[in-house]
Chains A and B, each alone.
Chain A
Amino acid sequence: MKRYLVKRIGYSLISLFLLSVIIFFFVRVTGDPAVLLVEPGASQADLDAVRQQLGLDKSMGVQYVTFVTDLLRGDFGNSFYYRMPVLELYLSRLPNSLLLAACAMLFSLFIGIPSGILAAVRLGGWWDRVGKIFALLGQSLPSFWVGLMLILFFSVHLGWLPSSGSGTVWHVLMPAFALGWLFAAAHMRLTRSSMLEVLGSEYVKLARLKGLPEAMVIAKHAFKNALIPVLTLAGINLVIMVNTTVVVETVFAWPGVGRLLYEGISFRDFPVVQVTVVLCGAMIVTVNLIVDVLYAVIDPRIRYE
Chain B
Amino acid sequence: MNGSRASALTLAWRLASFGPRGYPVVPIAIIVITTLLAVFADFIAPHNPEIGVLGERFKPPAWQAGGTETYLLGTDHLGRDVLSRLIFGARVSMIVGFFAVIVAGVIGTALGIVSGYFGGWVDQVIMRITDTWLAFPALIFAIFLAAIVGPSLTNLVVILGAVFWTRYARVIRGEVLSLKERDFVRLAIVANCSNWTIMRRHILPNVINSAVVLASLQLGIVIIAEATLSFLGVGVPPPMPAWGLMLADGKKGMMAGYWWLTVLPGTCIMLMVLAANLLGDWLRVKLDPQLRQL
Contact = CB atoms under 8 A, between A and B. Distances in A.
Tell me if chains A and B make direct contact, with any CB pair below 8 A.
yes
Interface of A: 11-12, 14-16, 18-19, 22-23, 26-27, 29-31, 125-126, 129, 133, 136-137, 139-145, 148-149, 152, 156, 185, 189-190, 193-194, 197, 229, 233, 243-244, 246-247, 258, 261-262, 265, 277, 280-281, 284-285, 288, 305
B187 interface: no
Contacts of B140: 244, 246, 261-262, 265, 277
A15 B131 contact: yes
A92 B147 CA distance: 28
Interface residues of B, number: 49
Interface in B149-178: 177
Interface string B200-236: 0000000000000000000011001001100110000
B274 A136 contact: yes
A172 to B, nearest CB: 22
Contacts of B228: 142-144, 247
B136 A19 contact: yes
DSSP class of A's interface residues: helix, strand, loop or mixed?
helix
Interface in B132-156: 132, 134-140, 143-144, 147-148
Contacts of B10: 125-126, 129
Nearest to B274: A140
4 closest Cβ pairs, A-B complex: A281-B135, A140-B273, A193-B292, A142-B227
Contact of B134 (A126, A140, A152, A284): A284
B248 interface: yes
Contacts of A284: 134-135
Given A27-B144, A190-B293, A193-B292, A141 B134 contact: no
Contacts of B137: 243-244, 258, 261, 277, 280
Interface string B39-78: 0000000000000000000000000000000000000000
Interface stretch (B81-89, B91-99, B188-196, B262-270): B262-270
B13 interface: yes
A141 B135 contact: no
A305 B173 CA distance: 12
7 contacts: A11-B131, A139-B221, A142-B231, A148-B254, A194-B292, A277-B136, A280-B135
B248 A144 contact: yes
Given A11-B131, A22-B132, A30-B148, 14 more contacts: A15-B132, A15-B135, A27-B144, A31-B147, A129-B10, A139-B277, A142-B244, A148-B254, A149-B254, A244-B140, A247-B231, A262-B232, A265-B143, A284-B134
Contacts of B281: 189
Interface of B: 1, 6, 9-10, 13, 17, 124, 127-129, 131-132, 134-140, 143-144, 147-148, 177, 220-221, 224, 227-228, 231-232, 244, 247-248, 251, 254-255, 262, 266, 269-270, 273-274, 277-278, 281, 292-294
Contacts of A125: 10
Give the interface centre of B9, B266, B278 by most chain A CB atoms within 10 Å. Answer: B266
Contact of A145 (B134, B251, B294): B251
A142 B247 contact: yes
A119 to B, nearest CB: 11
Give the interface centre of A26, A144, A145, A281 by most chain B CB atoms within 10 Å. Answer: A145
Contacts of B262: 145
A253 B140 CA distance: 18
A125 B6 CA distance: 10
Given A30-B147, A142-B224, A261-B140, A189 B294 contact: yes
Given A140-B273, A142-B244, A156 B136 contact: no
A185 B128 contact: no
B224 A246 contact: no
Nearest to A244: B137
A280 B244 CA distance: 28
A288 B262 CA distance: 38
Nearest to A289: B131
A19 B292 contact: no
B9 A126 contact: yes
A30 B144 contact: yes
A145 B247 contact: yes
